[in-house]
Structure 1
Amino acid sequence: MLEPARTSPRRLGSARKGIDLADEARFLKSWFDKPLVTGAVSPSGKALARMMARYVEPEHDGMVLEIGPGTGPVTEALLERGVAPERLVLIEFNDEFVPLLRRRFPGVTVVQGDGYAARDTLAGLVGAPLTATVSSLPLLTKPVRQRVALLEQCFDMSRVGAPFIQFTYGLVPPIPREAIGDITTAGSPRVWMNLPPARVWIYRRPA
Structure 2
Amino acid sequence: MLEPARPLSRRRTPRGKGIDFADEARFLRSWLDKPLVTGAVSPSGKALARMMARYVDPKEPGLVLEIGPGTGPVTEALIERGVSPERLVLIEYNAEFVPLLERRFPGVTIVRGDAYNASETLAGRIGQSLTATVSSLPLLTKPVRQRVKLLEQCFEMSRPGAPFIQFTYGLTPPIPREAIGLTTALGSPRVWLNLPPARVWIYRRPA
TM-score (norm 2): 0.97
Letter of the 2:172 counterpart: V
Contact 2:69–2:75 under 8 Å retained in 1: yes
Q: Does 1:106 align with 2:114?
A: no
In the TM superposition, 1:6-17 aligns within 5 A as 6-8=6-8, 10-13=9-12, 16-17=16-17
Secondary structure at 1:23 match in 2: helix
Q: Which runs of 5+ in 2 are unaligned?
A: none
* Cα separation, 1, equivalents of 2:177 and 2:91: 26
* CA deviation map 1:40-99 (0-9, x unaligned): 000000000000000000101000000000000000000000000100000000000000
* CA deviation map 1:170-205 (0-9, x unaligned): 011000000000000000111000000000000000
The alpha-carbon deviation at position 16 of structure 1 amounts to: 4.1
Secondary structure at 2:130 match in 1: coil
Letter of the 1:22 counterpart: A
Letter of the 2:136 counterpart: S
In the TM superposition, 1:157-172 aligns within 5 A as 157-172=157-172
Contact 1:4–1:188 under 8 Å retained in 2: no
Q: Which runs of 5+ in 1 are unaligned?
A: none
Report the equivalent of 1:118.
118
* Cα separation, 1, equivalents of 2:184 and 2:18: 36
Q: Does 1:94 align with 2:77?
A: no
